[in-house]
Amino acid sequence: MTLRLGTRGSPLALAQAELTTVALSAAAPGLTVERVVIATTGDRTAQEGAPADGQGIFVKEIEEALLARTIDVAVHSLKDLPVEAPARLVVAAVLPRADVRDAFCSRDGRTLDELEAGAVVATGSPRRVAQLRRLYPRLVYAPIRGNVNTRLRKIRDGEAAGTILARAGLVRLGLEAAVTEVLSLETCLPAPGQGAVGLEARADDPGTLALLEKIHDAATGRAVTAERALLAALGGGCRTPIAAYAAADGPRLRLLAFVGEAAGVRFVQGVQEGAPEDPVGLGRRLGERLLASGAAELIGL
């Protein structure tokens, strides 16, 4: 049996496709996994130097290939995947989650606390800017483009004092040595789904769904389902500073969330616990609480 994996061509995407290949090969000996690299709108705009904004820009063409049956499984960074999937597609599995935390990679080894007033921190993430401005208002936040390696090169070339990247991606690329400081969850909550690899398939493909079920990590699945349910309840776009993280807390599932504005002045945050068997309900309940506490105004609903 041959299974065709659709993936972006960035180094991180290819690393995640390799993780998927290894997991599938272990679960189904004799399976042949074929990798199909697909250029997305986000990849093209990044190459052209334009801002890579827009919900789903890193997944649209891959999902189209899945619907056209030219691939069998789409490999995504789950944080890039919109919460509303196209008809006939499902997130069939997630791999065990890596470290969800963000990391500061500085040019000269200084931490955020050690940077002088006016030092430039490069990040294109409104979520990161909204949270960091609360704690480090003396710093200047500027956008940065390109994949992980490109961003690190720009920092070495002196474009900024440092940049913020997901630690999971750095580890998967073998670049953990670039990390100056791992940011605590109290400093910067991650994006919903950060650190998780999501595997999307056609709902009418029972053979592939059964295969993906063998490599699905249930604990990660419950956590990211709660985070994505919160995101759906909030209804914010990709440029809204929304952060969320769910994890088991004894027999309960605990969900933390943050909604802010890019200026870092106004924000709401909350925490809620619920039964692990109902992650969707947990996410919805906390989302509704945040909306009633002022998140609706921040999001612009």
Query: Would you list the DSSP string of 64-90?
Result: HHHHTTS-SEEEEEGGGS-SSPPTTEE
State pLDDT tens for residues 155-208: 999 999 999 999 999 999 999 999 999 999 999 999 999 999 999 999 999 999
**Cα distance between residue 79 and residue 125, in whole Å:** 12
Per-residue confidence (pLDDT) for residue 264, from 0 to 100:
75
Residue-level pLDDT at 237: 60
- Please give the domain boundaries of the chain with CATH numbers for all domains: 1-95+196-216 (3.40.190.10), 102-182 (3.40.190.10), 218-301 (3.30.160.40)
Nearest C-alpha neighbor of 165 from the set 177, 157, 242: 177
pTM: 0.92
CB-CB contact of 120 with 139 (8 Å): yes
What are the backbone dihedrals phi and psi of residue 12, each rounded to the nearest 5 degrees, phi first?
A: -70, -45
* Catalytic pick among 72, 80, 102, 205: 80
Q: What is the pLDDT of residue 51?
A: 45
27 burial (CB, 10 Å; 0-12 / 13-18 / 19+) is middle
Quick check: is 80 catalytic?
A: yes
78: Cβ contacts below 8 Å, ≥ 6 apart: 91, 94, 193, 194, 196, 197, 198, 224, 228
Q: What does the pLDDT read at residue 48?
A: 41
Low-confidence residues in the chain, pLDDT < 50: 48-54
Distances (CA, A) of 64 to 8, 44, 69, 75, 125: 13, 16, 9, 13, 26
Residue from 133, 173, 144 nearest 49 by CA: 144
Identify the pLDDT of residue 199: 98
